Structure 1
Amino acid sequence: MTRPRLRHLAFVVQDAKSMAEFYCSQFGMDLFHTDPDGSHFVTDGYLNLALIQQQLDGDVPTGFNHFGFEVPDVAPIADRLTAAGLPTPALRGGDRPFAEYRAIDPEGNWFDLSAHGFLPPGVEQG
């Protein structure tokens, strides 16, 4: 891989299980992970779709949430973003098996950066 590649899109949805079933049955996608909060993650073997379960006690509306780049190395990308006047990408904490860093573009859109990809450890990327 010589340049960053889009590998991940995320939407907040009202019923992640039903949405995952829709994409699997209608487009042949495969479910590869379910979070304890009910979020479901499906893939076509190349692009992963995160269906984030909306939380009633949260303030995140349904719809597009963020996208993610797979990169050969996060550090040079982070350096370029910071040099361009953007905040330094933040390490994502917790038990997230996917993206390592969260960043924002000049208009405030969230995106993830990952050197190891967007599938859980042990699941092969297409």
Structure 2
Amino acid sequence: MPTAKLRHLAFTARDAVGLAHFYRDQFGMRIFHTDPDGSQFLTDGVINLAIIQQALDGDVPTGFNHFGFHVDDVDTVAKNLVDAGLPEPAVRHTTRPFAEYRAIDPEGNWFDLSAHGYLPPGEQE
């Protein structure tokens, strides 16, 4: 089995723009996408860091939210997860150009699966 590559981390923040600017200014990460709600997406050229704007009417707390794997074949990984007794990964309905599927591990942690990766379009591995 090919090794999946951890390429995406996501945090929920009270001030997504301010936190993105912190990582940009302190660590040289590049902001490459902003959602209408203010969520920010940064990269160091290998890892994509999503900083999700916390919604006042939402029930998602601040802090770690999910991670994502870049895999060779989502269908094979999905089948293996189901064979292991986990729910089938769900299609992520989003306009973002990455993270095609959302899955869950045995402890209930969310993770994304992507066959094309998490870097900005045109910068894929």
Query: TM exceeds 0.5?
Result: yes
Identity %: 70
2:81 is aligned with 1:84: no
Are 1:13 and 1:51, in contact at CA under 8 Å, matched by a contact in 2? Answer: yes
- State the SS of the aligned residue for 2:21: helix
- State the SS of the aligned residue for 1:82: helix
For residues 98-117 of structure 1, the aligned pairs below 5 Å read: 98-117=98-117
* TM-score (norm: length of structure 1): 0.94
- How many residue pairs match? The answer is 124
Shift of 1:120: 4.0
Which runs of 5 or more structure 2 residues have no equivalent in the other structure?
Answer: none
* TM-score (norm: length of structure 2): 0.95
Counterpart position of 1:42:
42
Which runs of 5 or more structure 1 residues have no equivalent in the other structure?
Answer: none
- State the SS of the aligned residue for 1:119: coil
2: CA distance, partners of 1:59 / 1:112: 20
Give RMSD over aligned pairs: 1.1
Are 1:16 and 1:52, in contact at CA under 8 Å, matched by a contact in 2? Answer: yes
Are 1:45 and 1:125, in contact at CA under 8 Å, matched by a contact in 2? Answer: no
